[in-house]
Amino acid sequence: MEKKVDMKKITFRNETPADYRAVENLTREAFWNVYKPGCDEHFILHNFRTRSEFVPELDIIMEEEGILVGHVMFVRAEIKLNNSKTLPIMTFGPISIALEFKHKGYGTVLLRYAMEKAKKMDCGALAITGNIDFYGKNGFVVAKTKGVRYYADPDADYFLIKELVPSFLDEVKNCGGGSFKEPDGYFIDANEAEEFDRHFPIKERLSLPGQIFG
């Protein structure tokens, strides 16, 4: 049986500039060679901190007895409704867990804490592209069942959504649906990302089975 996270040892706080390098290293280690050879998530995080969509109150570090265990960032986003209006929501990620703490429940603890904070900030819903096996346990459903389609793949089963406020997404169905695209900060220049990564220790980029991008 998987050992439960000892919540008495866990603390949460907002990221500060003094944390930036450590959190970028954490993010890089967490995603390296996971979805592609190498990764870009640490560069995405680095760029978002100065973007208007970034939510500083939801830039959250999780520690266990003072040790950096995880981090997540949230950004403001929107659903474009079929009636030409927009519905403000949020998205999030990268959500990063240190390698030695992965698959032990820490990701769920961090996500649930952050979602509760987002709800208190009057966020009505969260959208994410991800694994339903993980996010489904945290209340997410396939977004198209709520009338929200992913811009790049309208039938995507990996595009997920969660209402933080009951019936918040009723407006989507009432107007015949809507679509979602991540904020521009998630779309990066590959050359800029590679240049940024040169400031970190050298790591081997590997093509591995199960990677989404070549």
- Cα–Cα distance between 3 and 169 in angstroms, integer? 36
Could you tell me what percent of the chain has a pLDDT over 70?
98
Res. 2: pLDDT tops 60: no
Q: In this predicted structure, what is the pLDDT of residue 4?
A: 84
The tokens for 209 are 């089975």
CATH of the domain at 162: 3.40.630.30
Residue 209 domain-assigned (yes or no): no
Q: What's the chain's average pLDDT?
A: 96
Res. 52: pLDDT tops 70: yes
Residue 50 domain-assigned (yes or no): no
What range does the domain containing 144 cover? 7-15+56-188
- Confidence grade of residue 60 (pLDDT, cut at 50, 70, 90): very high
Q: Note the residue count of the chain.
A: 214
- Cα–Cα distance between 200 and 190 in angstroms, integer? 16
Residue 179 domain-assigned (yes or no): yes
Domain count within the chain: 1
Q: Please state the pTM of the whole predicted model.
A: 0.95
The tokens for 100 are 């030695």
pLDDT digit string, tens, across residues 146-195: 999 999 999 999 999 999 999 999 999 999 999 999 999 999 999 999 99
Residue 162 domain-assigned (yes or no): yes
Q: How many other CB atoms sit within 10 Å of the CB of residue 204?
A: 8
Residue 47 domain-assigned (yes or no): no
Residue 211 domain-assigned (yes or no): no
Residue 64 domain-assigned (yes or no): yes
Residue 11 domain-assigned (yes or no): yes
Distances 199 to 24, 29, 83, 119, 195 between C-alpha atoms, Å:
11, 14, 46, 36, 8
